[in-house]
Amino acid sequence: MLKSARIAVFVSGGGTNLQALLDAQRDGKIPHGEIALVISSQACAYALERAEKANVPAHTVPSSLIQHDFEAAIELLLEQYKIDVIVLAGFLSILSENFTKKWPRRILNIHPSLIPAFCGVGFYGLHVHEGVLARGAKVTGATVHFVNEIADDGPIILQKPVAVQPDDTPEILQKRVMQEAEWLILPRAVSLFCDNKLEVKGRTVRVLS
């Protein structure tokens, strides 16, 4: 019997991906995981209200702290709540190599494009979708990947394509990518992780049956 993996979700904004995880947990779709902690880099993040409504302990570690103090405060919370895996869900702060190397293949991130397209430094939030539309791409989507020391560079876990429509604005496209991809593949990837169903070899992730 797998013990339940204790999950920390890092947020910075609206928390719609956090909500997708909370809803999946409620619906029994993450049977071997428990969302035990939410950490926000912004005190005003609506994601904090979502955590409170779901009775999940939540703390703000302000991104205004210097990197060393920011990460030390986070690490203290991760220890206090006995966290096994970190999920970045709309988290806009950088985690240093010093931090990420302590969590090899135990930090997952949701990115709103089909990596390696439209990712890396500067590609976050609406900027991703602005780039997709400016390039005239016909297909975009979302990616869940492991986090390493380079932005959006870790092994890809799951991806889901989304068609770009002729009249899309960045806002319309962002919403569709969230609804049709992000909110589906993030809970699925977290559940697979908690079920020990992700086999990583080099930069390739295989989902075990």
- Judged by the rule CB under 6 A, the positions of this chain that interact with ligand GRF are 11, 13-18, 47, 89-90, 110, 112, 125, 174, 178, 182
Determine contact, residues 77/36, Cβ cutoff 8 Å: no
Q: Which of 59, 68, 111, 145 is catalytic?
A: 111
Helix, strand, or coil (residue 132): helix
Residue nearest to ligand GRF (CB): 90
The closest of 113, 92, 100 to 10, measured between CA atoms, is 92
| CB closer to ligand GRF out of 36 and 162 | 162
Nearest-angstrom CA–CA distance, 10 and 106? 13
- Tell me how far, at minimum, the Cβ of 13 lies from ligand GRF, in Å: 4
- Tell me how far, at minimum, the Cβ of 194 lies from ligand GRF, in Å: 19
- Tell me how far, at minimum, the Cβ of 15 lies from ligand GRF, in Å: 5
The verdict on whether 111 is a catalytic residue reads: yes
Interhelix angle 16-26/183-194, rounded to 10 degrees, is 50
| CB closer to ligand GRF out of 15 and 33 | 15
194 Rama class: left (phi>0) / alpha (psi -120 to 50) / beta: alpha
Nearest-angstrom CA–CA distance, 22 and 35? 7
| CB closer to ligand GRF out of 122 and 206 | 122
Residues that are catalytic: 111
